[in-house]
Structure 1
Amino acid sequence: MERLEDCIVEAGTALVGSDAQGRMQLRHDVAIRIHRGVIAQIGPLRGMIGGNEHLPRYGGPDTIAMPGLVNSHHHFGITPLMAGVPFEPLEFWLPQFRAMRSPGTRLDTLYSAIEMLQSGTTTVHHIASGLVGGRAQWDEAADTAIAAYGEIGMRAGYSVMLRDRNILTYGDDDRLLASLPPEVAGWFGARLYPKGGSIAVYLDFHDSLRKRHADNPRLRVNMAPANLHWCSDALLEAIGGAARDNGMRIHMHLVETKRQARFARERFGRSAVAHLHEIGFLGPHVTLGHCNWLEEGDREQLAECGCSVCHNASSGLRLGSGRADVAGLVRDGVPVALGIDQSNIADDRDMLLEMKLAWALHRSTDLFGQRFDAAEVIMQATEHGAMTAGFGGLAGRLECGMQADIVLMSRRKIERPFADGRTPVSELVLHRARREAIEMVLVDGQVVVRDGRVTRIDPDAVMEEIRARLSAPPTAGESEALEMVTAAMPHIRAHHANYA
């Protein structure tokens, strides 16, 4: 890692983070002194200048400073919509990913990282969609994505979705493959699982990856069992044990759609959450993504086990998957983080926009019903997100001892043309801040965005290289993939229509 420089950040207002009662704590007319990437001191500017005149100074009296945002649930860069895959229910959407073209792992990772950083997201939990090919390819893909985040200057949790059953539907793969034309069945059958995969090999891959990157302080290697219907109990129990033994976080998709909830009820005679509890999988190191179809008693069980939930508002709406009961989760004491999933309501990775949607989506229609304020949503997008990605206690707040991941915004641009002094600053940031208001983004005290552009790479060059690669004629393999997926989709739809 590069040497971390010292600097001073000046702000008219700093959003420090929420207190124990969920109220946003503010500091006014402050300076933040950063030493070797860590917040060393917060106080009046005049008290920090003496002896530090040589340090770079960022911000000013018009600046609003807040913790870097966290995208707690992310997959890959080029969106399905960009790649020609229309929005459909999840069960019909996912199989079509096999026909998507990619510009390559590095460019794909940089593309979404540019969008995230330029809208204030300093940390991401990257959940790779799965293992492809053999072990050498797994290592190369993981190392390339991790290197891309390092190249652009982001903090990242990294995990890979693991599956060992029911890849295409909610039943045995062989049943669906038997309904496909032989050529199509052969093509899909050869690609359902990675080569040489087994529970032991999957665990060894993660252990090797974690050790290989042990010296990277901006990285956490996590584990991501894909979903209950995709994972056998044996795989889940092995992942749970490995995570506990190695202090790793787990992020698992769960009951994203109604059919996933029905699968658990019909297969196990209990809810998905109850089944995970029964096999000893749940705990404070576990985050469950989506949770749109929790059953009665599930929220209380998650709270008792100390689990977190990652809410993906745009995803649930755009795919028609459902809406998590975030109000109930918060009421019952379950920490909630925010994720953009594949992309948000505008098909990009703007966390400022996702926060606005998450707030609006959960407004109670009852006159005296529960309603979130800005502090709750900001906490979900900062402190809680940092925890679920593996950086709890290190990022997500502006406090001494925390890593200096800071977003600097222009208050003048947020308030333009005017905002009454009675309006809380946190409400202004949530409801009025757009990426145009972001003047600078720091990670470990280093400037990674200045004047709306990432500083470590040329974003225009990245975009042009992606355009050139994806505008070229498809390869023979890409053409075959599109042909096979197109041929398979009518059979996949029929299978779901007839599946009890």
Structure 2
Amino acid sequence: MTTGTDCIIEAGTILSGLGPDGTMGLRHDAAVRVEKGMIAQIGPLEAVSYGYGDLPRFGSREMIALPGLVNGHHHFGVTPLMQGVPFAALELWLPRFRAMRAVDPRLDTLFSAIEMLESGTTTVHHIHSGLSGTPEQWTASADAVLGAYREIGMRAGFSFMVRDRNLLAYDADETILAGLPAQTRAWIAPKLAAAMIPVGELMDFVGALRARWLTAEPDHVRINLAPANLHWCSDEALQAIAETARAGGSQIHMHLVETERQADYAKRTFGRSAVAHLKALGCLGPEMTLGHGNWMDRADLDILAECGCSVCHNASSGLRLGSGIAPVNAMRRRGIPVALGIDQSNIADDRDMTLEMKLVWALHRETGMWSEGPDAAAVLQMATEHGARTVGFGGLAGRLEPGWQADIVLMDRRRLAAPAISPRTPAAEAVLHRGGRHAIRQVFVGGRLVVDEGRVVGIDREAVMREVAAILERPETADERAAVEAAESLVAHLDAYHRARETGPSASYRYNAMADG
């Protein structure tokens, strides 16, 4: 990837970012001059282009420019639904992933990157499912993923989920394995053993990965850490991760209280909430982003605000898996920065952040006549500036201002408005409610054109789609059928395990009232 590109980008309206008063900053009939990938100047076209008449020009007064969107929580490309995995509660959904057909990591990454870029997402936090095997295999996987983002032109944070206990459920793996049929146990046990890597070795690997990739791509890559969840990480692992992140200036992104069962686990095991336990361990701080957070209470949110943590809200994921609805309005009242993540895939089973933003706006309207749900400008900030901060690009990406990276989405006002829209409609409202993939004309990352006329330009898009189709349409092998049968046997046992531990009826599917206020 080039370090930066010089050009001029014109727009009839520029959405620069949310101001201190909570309103969207706007510039009209203006242009952005990009120098070495950074925004050097914003102003009238005549002033911006004076002395720079030889620079490439893009856009027009028919365009609306907004900061590149950020997917703050992403895992992999080909979705479980595409591989025949049925929706279920999280605890019964994840085990089936182990039988999914392997897809080359470069190809898999490019597939979801196409969906992200073409819907305006220029930055992603890629949370790799986990490492197994040898250090050479870890390096190959990380390089394939980061190389794919570099190839297509996206800015990326990379982390991998760290686990050192309870890989199958909320009890020790030995306990779960002992109750499995022999054939199922023989299938899953080696997979668990391969993933049980000493945390110290993983932290050393993070350091080596950071040194290599940040030297090569200082503006486009961040190496972060991702403790998988409280029940998957020992206290010692969590403290080692926090120490490593702070020593290297990395962000931490931790799944937490995604489901009601996870919240119950923390209280049953530690006698306090998951958030309170992390605070007691010294793991909370401005570098910490908690993914999901569906089952936090008021005291938890007070702690997060006090410690300067962020939350990544994964609305589609919570709805599709029945995990819950995060108390976003209560978070915002406390000043907790909220980013947006699409997680595995959104409500339409793709990675369209413009659709996720619409869902978030609607989901948090609540029912009172004067309820304080986020307006369009606030949702845009979640999907841009707040997201960039959680990935590690805070102060560099997420706003359109001089000195920031020129990550810019151009939406065609005519496509967005068709057949017409009132001039009284605020630009942020028009972009949120009527904008989308259909309206995106061009996308730039560091001033480099990566999407033109709604299609990625840095790779052979159709070749990627053909390769993905060939992998998924290939007839199932005997080994693959055996893996699916073994996974179903495992899920049947886990289903019985969880049913035996249910302590009462689940909470009704509604807003998390624990955090109201």
TM-score, normalised by the number of residues in structure 2: 0.95
- Contact 1:11–1:61 (CA under 8 A) maintained in structure 2: yes
SS at match of 2:463: helix
1:314 aligned partner: 316
Contact 1:117 1:449 in 2 (8 A): yes
Relative to structure 1, the CA distance from residue 66 to residue 193 in structure 2 (aligned partners, 3 Å threshold; closer, same or farther) is farther
User: Is the contact between residue 78 and residue 102 of structure 1 (CA under 8 Å) also seen in structure 2?
Assistant: no
Which residue number in structure 2 is paired with residue 498 of structure 1? 500
Q: Which residue of 1 aligns with 2:288?
A: 286
Specify the alignment match of 1:64 in structure 2: 64
Deviation readout 1:215-242 (Å, 9 max, x if unpaired): 2120000000000010000000000001
What is the aligned partner in structure 2 of residue 83 from structure 1?
83
Counterpart-to-counterpart distance in 1, 2:212 and 2:364: 42
The 1-side partners of 2:45 and 2:307 are apart by: 44
Name the structure 1 match of 2:194: 194
Task: Note the alpha carbon deviations across 1:8-32, whole angstroms, 9 max, x for none.
Answer: 0001000000011221110111110
- Letter of the 2:314 partner, please give it: N
Q: How far 1:476 sits from its partner (Å)? A: 5.2
Q: Which amino acid aligns with 1:472?
A: R
Shift of 1:418: 1.3
Task: Measure the CA separation in 2 of the matches of 1:450 and 1:480.
Answer: 44
Which residue of structure 1 aligns with residue 471 of structure 2? 469
Gaps of 5+ in 1: none
Deviation at 1:3, TM superposition (A): 5.0
CA distance in 2, matches of 1:265, 1:150: 43
Separation in structure 2 between the aligned mates of residue 323 and residue 364 of structure 1, nearest angstrom: 12
Contact 1:134/1:195 (8 A) holds in 2: no
Q: What one-letter code is carried by the residue in structure 1 that aligns with 2:418? A: R
Residue 457 (structure 2) aligned to one of 455, 458, 469: 455
Q: Look up the equivalent residue of 2:209 and give its one-letter code.
A: L
Q: Which position in structure 2 is the counterpart of 1:119?
A: 119
Poorly superposed stretches of 4+, deviation over 6 Å? none
Distance 1:10 1:444 in 2: 15
Contact 2:132–2:197 (CA under 8 A) maintained in structure 1: no
Matched residue SS, 1:14: strand
Task: Report SS of the residue matched to 2:298.
Answer: coil
| SS at structure 2 position matched to 1:31 | strand
Residue number in structure 2 paired with 1:479: 481
Work out whether 1:231 is the aligned partner of 2:236: no
Q: Is contact 1:311-1:324 (8 Å) kept?
A: yes
- Answer with 409-418 or 109-118: which moved more: 409-418
Moved more, 19-28 or 351-360: 19-28
Q: Which residue of 2 aligns with 1:44?
A: 44
Q: State the AA in 1 paired with 2:450.
A: V
Distance in 1, Cα, partners of 2:271 & 2:297: 12
Q: Is the 8 A contact 1:164 1:193 kept in 2?
A: no
Cα distance change of structure 1 residues 418 and 195 upon mapping to structure 2, 3 Å threshold: closer
Give, as a single letter, the amino acid of the residue that structure 1 aligns with 2:406.
A
CA contact (8 A) 2:33 2:41 kept: yes
Amino acid at match of 2:34: I
In structure 2, do the counterparts of structure 1 residues 463 and 364 end up closer, same or farther at CA, with 3 Å as the change threshold? same
CA RMSD of aligned residues (A): 1.1
**What is the rounded CA distance, in whole Å, between the counterparts of 1:475 and 1:285 in structure 2?**
45
Distance of 1:488 and 1:199 partners within structure 2: 26
Distance 2:132 2:224 in 1: 18
- Counterpart of 1:177 in structure 2 is 177
One-letter identity of the residue aligned with 1:113: A
Contact 1:355 1:377 in 2 (8 A): yes
Q: Return 242-251 or 210-219, whichever deviates more.
A: 210-219
Distance 2:196 2:230 in 1: 22
Question: What is the deviation of 1:477?
Answer: 4.4
Cα displacement (A) at 1:4: 2.7
Q: 1:98 to 1:275 in 2, by over 3 A?
A: same
Say which SS state the counterpart of residue 194 (structure 1) adopts: helix
Counterpart of 1:132 in structure 2 is 132
Contact 2:62 2:414 (8 Å CA) reproduced: yes
Q: Which residue number in structure 2 is paired with residue 421 of structure 1?
A: 423
Q: Secondary structure at the match of 2:494?
A: helix
Give secondary structure in 2 for the equivalent of 1:315: helix
Q: Does 1:364 align with 2:366?
A: yes
Match of 2:212 in 1: 212
AA at the equivalent of 1:156: A
Q: Which moved more, 1:250-259 or 1:165-174?
A: 165-174
Q: Is the 8 A contact 1:170 1:263 kept in 2?
A: yes
Q: Separation in 2 of the partners of 1:371 and 1:307?
A: 21
Range moving further from structure 2, 20-29 or 157-166: 20-29
In 2: Cα distance, 1:44 partner to 1:393 partner: 24
Equivalent position amino acid for 2:385 in 1: E
How far apart are 1:90 and its partner, in Å? 0.2
Equivalent residue, structure 1, for 2:260? 258
Give % identity.
58
Aligned twin of 2:203: 203
Q: Are 1:10 and 1:61, in contact at CA under 8 Å, matched by a contact in 2?
A: yes
Unmatched 5+ stretches in structure 2: 503-517
One-letter code aligned to 1:102: A
